[in-house]
Amino acid sequence: MKSEGGRAVKLVKITDDCVNDNEKELIWMLGRMHAFENPGNYSLMGMLDFFASNHPSAIRLREEAIIYIVPIMDVDHAYNGGSGKDQTPVDFNRDWHSLSSQSHWNAVNAAKSWIDSTAQLNNFSVFVDSHSPPPSGQSLFYYIYDSDHHYINTRFVTETVKHIGNYQGTEEIYYSLYNAISQDYIVTNYDNAKHYNVTIETGFNNRTDGVEWTKDLYLLNGQYHGQAISDYIHGQANTNDIIIIIIIIIDNNDATNVVLNGNWLPSTNILGYYGDNYLSADTTTPSSAVFNATINTAGTYEIFTRWVSKPNFATNALASFTHSGVTDNFSIDMSLRRGNWVSLETYYLEAGEQVSLAISNTNANETVIADGLRISEIVDCESLSILDIQQEDFPFSSKLYPNPTKKQFTIQLENNTTLETVKVYDMLGHLFLTTNKYKVDTNSLGEGLYTVEIKTNKGRGIKKLVIR
């Protein structure tokens, strides 16, 4: 689907293709109906990143739901730098009239059509419209339509606050003022006893607890909402068809599977650790923490570790993963990226194989942290696709591999197809990389979701890319 200005309106679909779609719940999310509301845009991007991640709650959600996200509805104002708020002849979020009526904007008409067609196939459980209040607004709050069972929505907000932690949003119950807002439209046409329908307003400037909003905090806020949505869906999904993904986690306090050498001190001083605490070792005594695990089922697995961080922690901590008698070494900067499972590499591991991850201070320039080993099975299923809001046929056959990737990917094209250009965009539409090479270096890109535009002698196509 093209906007009035001829720009593609993108639709992201996220689900686990290994699980039958018939019993899955349906989730729809819209962003930037008011193009200048960037905080809401980053919050939605945080949700999208979470949904496509290896977080156990995200894996579970992809098994139990089909998620559709339109990150940017008003692509023309987003591109041109306009606000879109109260624009003529009609605001994007005042253009949602009845199902049978013709809306003014192409994207709204297409979204209505897609929502209706997908709602015929699956139970419509969640609708989120992501916005921001005026720049003077500091709060995070939720508009909740006053339907007969808005108590479901208010309970969801309460549960979300549990994930958010140290600051709270508020909910505002309202009656329809316009009868043409997307949230009103969804309630009118698709409401059911389990339906969660909300407009999230993510504030500018400072949060209600006085902390200044940053891009990273907006993304984190979105991840918290994503986890709350996963918990909500899990409470009502049919789990008969779910494929069990093998995840092994060895915490640092597991006396059976962790061998400590040297001088490791347990601590809870820095937040972001897994389990009860983390271990730290300075450089005065040679120290290593070895996490051991047994693989019961052969398959492809991704190896993770984690740490808490401070600016003066080691920038060159040594992590060594051993399997089948082979050891791979990784240098870790522990001054950054605290409190997340960080991917090291992907391996094919045999059933019965003994593997280990050693964290050590060998040649480290500062304190080293040991907080856990995670081994996650990778199931060969496509979980994310990026489409025009009205899907068009891909003009040629192509493949990106490896995907997910860490350092580079390769483009494979069908015979008689010549590569002309490759462009890599983030989910906000920012261009990060242009090349004409079949092998593309991604070291300059951060972790997250990207779209890859491939232009050939046969036309143009879009692929998704996950960098971890």
Helical pair 56-64 and 38-51, crossing angle rounded to 10 deg: 90
Question: What pTM was estimated for this model as a whole?
Answer: 0.60
Instruction: Please tell me the distance from the alpha carbon of residue 299 to that of residue 26, in angstroms, as a whole number.
Output: 30
Give residues with Cβ within 8 angstroms of 316, minimum separation 6: 331, 332, 333, 363, 364, 365
Neighbours of 126 (CB within 10 A): 21
Instruction: Please tell me the distance from the alpha carbon of residue 194 to that of residue 244, in angstroms, as a whole number.
Output: 26
Give residues with Cβ within 8 angstroms of 205, minimum separation 6: 135, 136, 138, 212, 213
Q: Are 424 and 455 in contact (CB under 8 A)?
A: no
Neighbours of 44 (CB within 10 A): 31
Res 409: pLDDT: 87
Tens of pLDDT along the chain (468 residues) come to 788 999 989 899 999 888 888 889 999 999 998 888 888 888 899 999 889 887 888 888 999 999 999 999 999 999 888 888 878 898 888 888 777 778 899 999 999 999 999 999 999 989 999 888 876 655 666 666 555 555 555 666 665 655 555 455 554 444 445 556 887 788 778 877 667 777 778 888 777 667 777 888 888 888 888 888 888 888 765 545 444 567 799 999 999 999 999 999 999 998 778 888 999 999 999 999 999 999 998 888 889 899 988 889 999 999 999 999 999 999 999 988 666 778 888 888 899 999 999 999 999 999 999 999 999 887 655 555 555 544 444 566 778 878 778 788 888 888 888 999 999 887 666 788 899 999 999 888 877 778 888 888 888 777 878 887
Instruction: Please tell me the distance from the alpha carbon of residue 220 to that of residue 205, in angstroms, as a whole number.
Output: 16
Q: For the stretch 133-153, what's the b/e string if a residue is b when 16 or more beta carbons lie within 10 angstroms of its beta carbon?
A: beeeebebbbbbbebeebebb
The DSSP letter of residue 212 is B
Res 159: pLDDT: 59
Domains of the chain by range and CATH? 10-234 (3.40.630.10), 247-377 (2.60.120.260), 396-467 (2.60.40.10)
What is the longest distance spanned by two Cα atoms in the chain? 73
Instruction: Please tell me the distance from the alpha carbon of residue 54 to that of residue 201, in angstroms, as a whole number.
Output: 27
- Size of the chain in residues: 468
Res 403: pLDDT: 78
Instruction: Please tell me the distance from the alpha carbon of residue 211 to that of residue 217, in angstroms, as a whole number.
Output: 10
Q: Are 307 and 278 in contact (CB under 8 A)?
A: yes
Tell me the two tokens of residue 428. 């906000």
Res 337: pLDDT: 66
Give residues with Cβ within 8 angstroms of 155, minimum separation 6: none
Catalytic residue set: 201
Residue the block writes with tokens 């996950």? 466
